[in-house]
Amino acid sequence: MRSRILAALCPLLLLLAFMSGCLSESVEVAPTSDNEVFATEPVDVRECFEYDEKERCWFVHVPANTSIEFCQENSCPLLIDMHGRHVTAELQNNLSDFARVTDVDHTILVHPEGIGLGWNFGWCCGEENDVGFLLTLIDHMIENRSADASRVYMSGWSNGCFMSQEMAMVASHKITAIACMAGYTVEPKSADYSPIPVMEFHGFLDPGVLYGHSSTASFQVAGTLEGDEGAIQNLYWWADVNGCSGLVPDFETVESDHSIKKFTECENGSQAVLYTLNYAQHNPYLNDYEGADGPFNEATLKGNPTGLDITAAAWEFLREFDKDGITLA
């Protein structure tokens, strides 16, 4: 008899406890629920959805005081930072450390996970429709977190930089600008491409994706010599497709540890920029890469030795552009 009475009272007790707040610490709130509208603390969560019959996931960082309600009334940029091959999204977050410079602008920072720790472009890597996944992810962030659709930026390292440039070429209607590290484009010019700003950072001493040619990387990764011309040629290729005027960069600065070449007189207010780090290898970031794996182990261990903060330089470049100032074809 007593057990029956207790059984009958349990639902009531649970309801009363919930209403009094006693169970609030154990209740998980969906990241995009109405409860987050008034959030003041930063949000760091891993989220997933099904795409192409596979679970695709990412880590999202939302700065403090950047609620959905805030982003509905203010501009909250979206930055997607993609890992290199054999690198996890978490390691990429630690390596690039973008939140350190993007939080002040209420930037929604996303680190997506590639299938098999890689991104599919040209001669590399796999057969996943990563372009489709990333486009869907962008739409998801705009719809569910009120990211500013006119300020969608991409970055990435190595394999992630190749993928960033692929996205710039095939999805210029979505991407506002890119600034990535240690990779080139492999895409021919798309018929519906609209010029957008592109900046690439490259270590002059990179033994993996060579400054002069990426055939070393394509051979080690994919067993092909299909690699592309190097960092200088990549700059001129983007200057060409962006309709930049002049045969040489209209801005150039040379310092002891780096140089910057820019084409700034380009269609749609776009640019093409190469930032060369004279003493950097495959990892141009400030932070060392801990836990290296894959074919470029030794090359990726140490960060840029001269203390150049390319994460800050990349964000300084990206944040200046929005789609309102870029004409779509």
Digit-coded pLDDT (tens) for 87-139: 999 999 999 999 999 999 999 999 999 998 889 876 667 788 999 999 999 99
Give the Å distances, CA to CA, from 172 to 42, 156, 259: 30, 17, 27
Q: Is residue 17 situated within a structural domain?
A: no
User: Per this entry, what is the length of the chain?
Assistant: 329
Q: Is residue 77 situated within a structural domain?
A: yes
Can you list the alpha helix ranges (DSSP code H) found in 27-129? 68-73, 89-96, 99-102
Domain total of the chain: 1
Q: Is residue 22 situated within a structural domain?
A: no
Q: Is residue 145 situated within a structural domain?
A: yes
Give DSSP secondary structure letters for 71-88.
Answer: HHHS---EEEEE--TT--
Q: Is residue 15 situated within a structural domain?
A: no
pLDDT in tens, 298-310: 555 789 999 999 9
Q: Is residue 302 situated within a structural domain?
A: yes
- Other Cβ atoms closer than 10 A to 251: 12
**For residue 219, what pLDDT is reported?**
46
Q: Is residue 16 situated within a structural domain?
A: no
Provide the 3-class DSSP secondary structure of residue 64: coil
Global pTM reads: 0.83
Under the banding of pLDDT at 50, 70 and 90, the label for residue 75 is: very high
d(CA 279, CA 258): 8
Q: In which order are the strands placed within the sheet that holds 272-277? A: 43-51, 54-62, 108-112, 78-82, 152-156, 177-181, 198-203, 272-277, 258-263, 251-254
Nearest alpha carbon to residue 187 among 159, 165, 160, 219: 165
What's the CATH number where 119 sits?
A: 3.40.50.1820
Q: Is residue 8 situated within a structural domain?
A: no
Q: Output the average pLDDT for the chain.
A: 84
For 16-26, what is the mean pLDDT? Answer: 35
pLDDT surpassing 70 at residue 20: no
Nearest alpha carbon to residue 87 among 207, 182, 185: 182
Structural domain including 214 reads: 31-323
d(CA 57, CA 306): 35
